[in-house]
Amino acid sequence: MLLLKCITMTMKFLDCPPRFLFFTGKGGVGKTSIACSSAIDLTAAGRRVLLVSTDPASNVGQVFGISIGSQITPILTVPGLFALEIDPQDAAAQYRERIVGPVRGLLPQSVLSTIEEQLSGACTTEIAAFDEFTSLLTDQALYADYDHIVFDTAPTGHTIRMLQLPGAWSGFLEEAKGDASCLGPLAGLAKQRSKYKEAVEALCDPMRTRMILVSRAQQTALREVARTFGELMAIGIPQQYLVINGLLASSESSADALAAAITSREQAAMSGMPELLKALPTDRIPLKAFNMVGLEALRHLLSETDAQYPASVNKPVILNAPALSLLVDDIAADGHGLVMFMGKGGVGKTTLAAALAIELAHRGLPVHLSTSDPAAHLIETVTDTLENLLVSRIDPQVETERYRREVLDSKGAQLDGEGRALLEEDLRSPCTEEIAVFQAFSRIIGEADRKFVVMDTAPTGHTLLLLDATGAYHREFTRQAGRNALYNVTPMMQMQDRKQTKVLIVTLAETTPVLEAATLQEDLRRASIEPWAWIINNSVAAAVTSSPLLRERAMNELAEIDAVAQQHASRYAVVPLLKEEPVGDRALRSLIYANDGG
């Protein structure tokens, strides 16, 4: 067993903390672990703390080893700490009942059915989660009960959307006069304008709110953080701190090629960090040998650790696992189809999707590689141009404008001046973006009957919201665009077709990512979507290293890899952690054949 001696480190982001602390960043950078560890540190200083997850795929409960859910729950092992997970579906159910309940029995069933139909879509789910989020910023009772509220947020793109919503909805409600597409959901929002205004004021007040940008020492993650910094400044959130998580100690790189390559990449990324980030108060957290699960691990995260490794780290780690090339051969044999990469943020979905697309294109097969992840970096990853490969990104702003033009040109052409004005007002609703993204998603996956469509999806929670609402999106789209927009095969039907679609679940060989991947698999199965295979990415156990810290992590991986092979996956592959960052044609294709014949 790994023995640890800790010395508490002083973190700048916990110096004189305000009431609200938000942890945000690209998926997989350690936001949840740092948020949980920070909450524990604050309680150790005698504060009462509420830890809130706004991630639809929250794993706060898994980290503490307990069930939390949508009610405030005391963490009994940490006096003074309470936790809450905002469940979008539960929030939507409660939101619908607040609107429909008072009129049930008073209105005709046909009218109630119309209202419930309006409240059945993903727009309502988003509004309901946002409504609960703003309540946490404005509830005076919570001010009295807790000294701090710590927010563990969804990956960046979804979080920025959440933070923008108070202002977006406030503005829309002030201007809205007509028959908005979100009439049902807005019935609950319109009564609470003052609350949303107060939430905006709280977010923009540096005496009440601090934003902690969490990143890894990786170029893509740091670029994402720089973009987030600008977007937060644009919506008036000035107080921001930077945390670089998981830095490998330079002492591990002596006489070890893999560790030396990792530290070299990290140092280069830090040196090339955008200047605007260098000006921020910054903390650095070293990579740990243990998984961030359980109270003891969380208490060590923000501490310097003097690790004493067991003698077993000197023994070679033996792993016999299938290579990714075997899965690719089976996929290529179909000639066309939809391949969707899904999983927790930060597990490498974008990289693996790009690697598969490039390999299929090199085999002479037509491929459309696309992403529905707002924070994806496909352009930076795929640097080569191939004749058979089309690369695209579903950009919410571009798709929203495209959708507005299409609706105005079709449905709007038949309206008089007043009717067109009402339609334009309708299309200014924040829900329009969600409809437009779904339309683009549907259009792209519809190409899979004649080519390969490789889809890099957003992190788990946001993707599930999209998939869960395909029927509602489809109904709303056809309502706006007319009956000519009806599909013979809906996107959900296409994803349920095992001959047409292969869902690949990507994970890391760590406790929390594997648990979340297993939960994702169950959610997909409830929607009659059967995952085709699992990919365990960036495995140290599949690599070659003599670094004591990396070897300890490799040994910890073996149990998780075995759990995937024996309990979760009908087929799987393991991709080792490589010395070279997988960017560009050659490096991406090397991922396919790494661990080949292992």
Distance of CA 9 to the CA centre of its chain: 29
Distance CA(594)–CA(128), nearest Å, equals: 45
Catalytic residue list contains 38: no
Catalytic option among 124, 371, 381, 512: 512
Distance CA(227)–CA(155), nearest Å, equals: 13
**Residue 175, Cβ density class (10 Å: 0-12 exposed, 13-18 middle, ≥19 buried):** exposed
The CA-atom distances, in angstroms, between 456 and each of 4, 219, 505 are 39, 19, 11
Distance of CA 209 to the CA centre of its chain: 22
Residue type, position 393, single letter: R
Catalytic residue list contains 153: no
Are residues 588 and 382 in contact, defined by beta-carbon separation less than 8 angstroms? yes
DSSP letters of 430-497?
THHHHHHHHHHHHHHHGGGGTSEEEEEPPPHHHHHHHHHTHHHHHHHHHHHH-GGG--SS-HHHHHH-
Catalytic residue list contains 28: yes
Q: At residue 553, what are phi and psi to the nearest 5 degrees?
A: -65, -40
Catalytic option among 32, 38, 220, 432: 32
Both tokens assigned to 450: 């004649």
Torsional class of 364: left (φ above 0), alpha (ψ -120 to 50), beta (otherwise): left
Catalytic residue list contains 344: no
**SS3 annotation, 550-578:** HHHHHHHHHHHHHHHHHHHCCCEEEEECC
Catalytic option among 24, 25, 26, 28: 28
Closest-CA residue to 445 (of 456, 437, 453, 435): 453
Q: Residues 6 or more apart from 300 whose CB is under 8 A from it? A: 4, 6, 288, 290
Catalytic residue list contains 26: no
**In the block, which residue shows the tokens 């089976």?**
330
Are residues 535 and 575 in contact, defined by beta-carbon separation less than 8 angstroms? yes
Catalytic option among 26, 38, 55, 263: 55
Cβ atoms within 10 Å of 92's Cβ, excluding its own: 25
The CA-atom distances, in angstroms, between 146 and each of 19, 299, 500, 544 are 9, 21, 51, 48
Are residues 85 and 66 in contact, defined by beta-carbon separation less than 8 angstroms? no
Catalytic option among 25, 26, 27, 31: 31
Both tokens assigned to 580: 């070279």
Catalytic residue list contains 30: yes
Catalytic option among 25, 27, 30, 184: 30
Catalytic residue list contains 43: no
Angle, nearest 10°, between helix axes 324-332 and 349-362? 50
Distance CA(98)–CA(111), nearest Å, equals: 16
Return the active site residues: 28, 30-33, 55, 512
